[in-house]
Amino acid sequence: MKQPRKSDFPVSQVRRYLEPGPIVLVSSALAGKTNIMTLGWHTILEFSPSLVGLMISSGNHSFEMIRESRVCVINLPTTALTETVVRIGNTSGRSIDKFAEFGLSADAASAVDAPLIGECHANFECRLHDDALVDRYNFFIFEVVKAHVAASPKHPETLHYTGDGVFMVSGKIISRRSMFRPEMLG
Amino acid sequence: MKQPRKSDFPVSQVRRYLEPGPIVLVSSALAGKTNIMTLGWHTILEFSPSLVGLMISSGNHSFEMIRESRVCVINLPTTALTETVVRIGNTSGRSIDKFAEFGLSADAASAVDAPLIGECHANFECRLHDDALVDRYNFFIFEVVKAHVAASPKHPETLHYTGDGVFMVSGKIISRRSMFRPEMLG
């Protein structure tokens, strides 16, 4: 699979990729093992610090790995990875090594001890910022401490999960920039 | 503007409309006044009870109205309402009545004291479930107590905000249902 060339991206602007609500792949590492899960329940919480909230169901093998390591990487797949996304979501890291099984490249992150998925369009390295709602809601608040984004395409086709095996696809763009007040842009 | 005919929808399944990450319109009421804001920072948190987290920036006029009334309605606009969505996001309820200004119909909700926006594809009536993170992150956890959804189209074109005046459009569908384990569906 192709690995897009990525550059550093400002962490305060990750909303550009996450606010539209795509399915993401969350990668983690603990005690020499890695894992990947699919995740659709996330939201931006703040520009700076760059905060993102993730609901990671405690039934996932990744849950304890992330809770203990206190880091993860949020990876953005495009529709080129649709089948891989589905396979990742339908298997468990308890029984397989997902990087090996699905032929994905585990690249070294620069700020956290968890692997980047090389084939994804963007990778956001995250450190746990607040675990106040982990026990009650499995809701983790992370700070994005480093972001890597492919320069092209500018607006890749992303997958947006509706449940029941069905994804909506985003990628078509409409701009209404001229209708915005200047202070609402950026 | 056209008002779609809506039917009751199971609150445990609102993820079908919200998990894909669309821009939503949040309507509220307090002391005889109503308001509407645009919101892109939200996530599903649980199927049952049907929990949704919304980050409502405290700079919004709606913030105090919702905090005091402890209810709101999450309304799902389609691309047919694009210009209205942009106008709602670029004005403040401090100076205008948005329902009147934008020709929107304030329909009565059945379970909460806040108006439904008749022109939207779906309306989710919400009651505040947990305000533990409101002071720290402006993050409200609501329970969806009643849902109304238009029967058609099944997958409407929705708006997904990227910042800077640009929206991605979702609507095209791909199904990979046959690749899912049975327990992952539904």
Per-residue pLDDT tens over the stretch B64-110: 999 999 999 999 999 999 999 999 999 999 999 999 999 999 999 99
Q: Give residue B1's pLDDT band: very low, low, confident or very high (50, 70, 90).
A: confident
Query: Can you give the pLDDT at residue B120?
Result: 98
CB of A12 within 8 Å of any CB in chain B?
A: no
CA distance B59 to chain A (A): 12
Question: What's the rounded mean pLDDT across residues A167-181?
Answer: 92
* Chain B residues in contact with A137 (beta carbon < 8 A): 45-46, 51, 141
The answer on pLDDT for A83 being more than 90 is yes
Q: Mind spelling out the 3-state secondary structure of chain B?
A: CCCCCEEEECHHHCHHHHCCCCCEEEEEEECCEEEEEEECCEEEEECCCCEEEEECCCCCHHHHHHHHHCEEEEEECCHHHHHHHHHHHCCCCCCCCHHHHCCCCEECCCCCCCCEECCCCEEEEEEEEECCCHHHHCEEEEEEEEEEEECCCCCCCEEEECCCCEEEEEEEEEECHHHCCHHHCC
CB B51 within 8 A of CB B142: yes
Residues B87, A179: C-beta atoms closer than 8 Å = yes
Whether the per-residue pLDDT at B171 is higher than 90: the answer is no
Do residue B162 and residue A20 have CB atoms under 8 angstroms apart? yes
Q: Are A26 and A73 in contact (CB under 8 A)?
A: yes
pLDDT in tens, A29-64: 999 999 999 999 999 999 999 999 999 999 999 999
Percentage of residues in chain A having pLDDT higher than 90? 94
**Residue B105's pLDDT is what?**
98
Nearest CA in chain B to A56: B45
Q: Tell me whether A135 touches chain B (CB under 8 Å).
A: no
Q: CB within 8 A of A182, min separation 6: which ones?
A: none
Q: What was the pLDDT predicted at B186?
A: 67
Tens of pLDDT, residue by residue over B124-147, are 999 999 999 999 999 999 999 999
Could you tell me the pLDDT band of residue B58, with boundaries at 50, 70 and 90? very high
B53 vs A: CB within 8 A:
yes
- Cβ <8 Å between B21 and A22: yes
- Cβ within 8 Å of residue B182, ≥6 positions away: none
B183 confidence band (pLDDT: 50, 70, 90) = confident
Is residue B185 very low, low, confident or very high in pLDDT (cuts 50, 70, 90)?
A: confident
Answer yes or no: is the ipTM higher than 0.90.
Answer: yes
Distance (Å) of CA A40 to CA A46, B3, B97, B122, B138: 18, 30, 35, 20, 21
Identify from A83, A96, A166, A183 which residue to disrupt to test chain B contact, counting B C-beta atoms within 10 A and taking the largest count.
A166
Chain B window 14-43: which residues touch A at a Cβ cutoff of 8 Å? 15-17, 19-22, 40-43
A164 Cβ under 8 Å from any chain B Cβ: yes
Per-domain residue ranges of chain B: 6-184
Secondary-structure class of domain B6-184 per CATH: mainly beta
Chain A nearest-CA distance from B133, in A, is: 8
Nearest Cβ partner for B43 among A41, A161, A176: A41
CA dist A124 and A119 (Å) reads: 13
| Contact (CB, 8 A) for A77 and A23 | yes
Q: Does A174 touch chain B (CB under 8 A)?
A: yes
pTM for the complete prediction? Answer: 0.97
Tell me the nearest-neighbour CA distance from B178 into chain A, angstroms: 8
Q: How far apart are alpha carbons B55 and A48 in whole angstroms?
A: 15
* Widest distance between CA atoms in chain B: 52
Contact B23/B38 with Cβ under 8 angstroms? Answer: yes
